[in-house]
Amino acid sequence: MGKNSRKSCGGIYLKARAASRFAGSLLLAITVVFSAGSITASTAGANEMVFVPKCYDRGSRKLFDGSGGCRADQRRILLMAGPVTQNSADRFRRAIGGQKFAEYWLDSGGGSVKVGLEIGKILRDRNAFVRVPGGRTCASICTFAFLGGRVRTVHPTAKFKVHAASSFSRGLPEPHARLLKQDPRKFLQILSEVLFDDSTFKDMFTYAQKMIGGRPQHGTLNAVLRGTPERSHRAYLNSDQFARDLAELRSLKKGDMSAANDVLMRFERRGVRASLEVVAQALKKENHRLGRRAKPAWRIIDTMYNRRITDVCELDQTTLREFGYTNLVD
């Protein structure tokens, strides 16, 4: 595309319009374990994030092995590459130990939401300089880990991609897929507890707010989200919307789990969009009391959920600065 060309993705100016599905390690996949009432997450593929010390030679602009230390004229880098999996934060802590690094370079297609936020908090505790270097990609929850950097920059040739988190992007576990086929009503009743659980939304919102220089007001945010009883799990079960959703699930061809996943992802995104709308209404009030930088944090979450869960939006340099992702021009 042309040098000055900027296209709109859902009303947000971005590097390129997102029209394709994430594939391989770029697809965030969260498996919902209904019986335990919890959410776990894993990225497609069996790879782990690796943490590799490097020495960056500014003269030649090349990376060299940094396991044995670097020369005085080189910058010691920790390259963090690969998917964010369940033990990535623990492995990150072990990798850094008491070592000092001038920069942390991210190259990841995303993965676990919870662990991605934890990595970001570790980076913030170290007042880290975080970079997405040229030719590398930071996508999905990697973009939230990136926010943990005290200093944050993205090279013009790097790719910085956002998309909505989903509990269904890799499909349902077999027991739940079987329940959906046998008893759609019971399945939707159980699922609704997850659809109306705002905990992940709140974690992401307050994390983003803090990392871009704000002061989250957890109690106020809880009160805002609780102040809409029509959005509750119990209200949904007795609503016309539940009846429509159930009818849609029953209309699916038996065994067509791909279509079922698309429907479930749409239900899920609708729930997050509803939470965003509730917070947006609170932010319109002068005395919203959601804390400093709440509006920019809202915009970051809104950017993720502005399009379908299976779409990806690549943010350009101007958007990265305007939204608070970066605070240093590379």
pLDDT of the residue at 9: 56
Q: Are 174 and 300 in a shared domain? A: yes
Q: Does 7 reside within a domain?
A: no
Q: Are 134 and 87 in a shared domain? A: yes
Query: What pLDDT digit, counting tens, does each position of 301-318 carry?
Result: 999 988 777 788 999 999
Q: 3-state class of 238 per DSSP?
A: coil
pLDDT of the residue at 178: 92
| CA max distance for the chain | 68
pLDDT of the residue at 41: 34
Cα 122 → chain centroid = 17
Q: Does 138 reside within a domain?
A: yes
Contact 235, 247 (CB under 8 A): no
Q: Are 245 and 226 in a shared domain? A: yes
pLDDT-wise least confident of 17-21, 64-68, 71-75, 140-144: 17-21
| Domain CATH for 91 | 3.90.226
Q: Are 50 and 125 in a shared domain? A: yes
- The boundaries of the domain holding residue 269 are 170-304
Q: Does 10 reside within a domain?
A: no
pLDDT-wise least confident of 29-38, 164-173, 309-318: 29-38
pLDDT of the residue at 15: 53
Q: Are 148 and 195 in a shared domain? A: no
Residue 14 pLDDT level (bands cut at 50, 70, 90): low
Q: Are 204 and 277 in a shared domain? A: yes
Q: Are 284 and 193 in a shared domain? A: yes
pLDDT of the residue at 32: 30
Q: Are 55 and 72 in a shared domain? A: yes
pLDDT of the residue at 31: 29
Residue 285 pLDDT level (bands cut at 50, 70, 90): confident
Mean model confidence pLDDT for the chain? 85
Q: Are 292 and 195 in a shared domain? A: yes
Contact 113, 93 (CB under 8 A): no
Cα 52 → chain centroid = 24
Q: Does 130 reside within a domain?
A: yes
pLDDT of the residue at 20: 33
pLDDT-wise least confident of 3-7, 125-129, 275-279: 3-7
Strand stretches in 129-207, DSSP E: 129-132, 137-139, 151-154, 159-162
Q: Into how many domains does the chain fold? A: 2
Q: Are 147 and 187 in a shared domain? A: no
Residue 220 to residue 209: CA distance in whole angstroms: 14
Q: Does 199 reside within a domain?
A: yes
Q: Mean pLDDT, to the nearest integer, of 35-62?
A: 68
| pLDDT: which is higher, 42 or 193 | 193
Q: Does 63 reside within a domain?
A: yes
Q: Are 235 and 317 in a shared domain? A: no
Residue 162 to residue 6: CA distance in whole angstroms: 16
Range picked from 55-69, 166-180, 278-292 for highest mean pLDDT: 55-69
Q: Does 183 reside within a domain?
A: yes
Q: Are 186 and 299 in a shared domain? A: yes
Query: What pLDDT digit, counting tens, does each position of 199-228 carry?
Result: 999 999 999 999 999 999 999 999 999 887
Q: Does 13 reside within a domain?
A: no
Q: Mean pLDDT, to the nearest integer, of 48-58?
A: 95
pLDDT of the residue at 23: 28
42 bridge partner residues: 29
- The CA angle 172-174-180, to the nearest 5 degrees, is 70
pLDDT-wise least confident of 23-27, 245-249, 283-287: 23-27
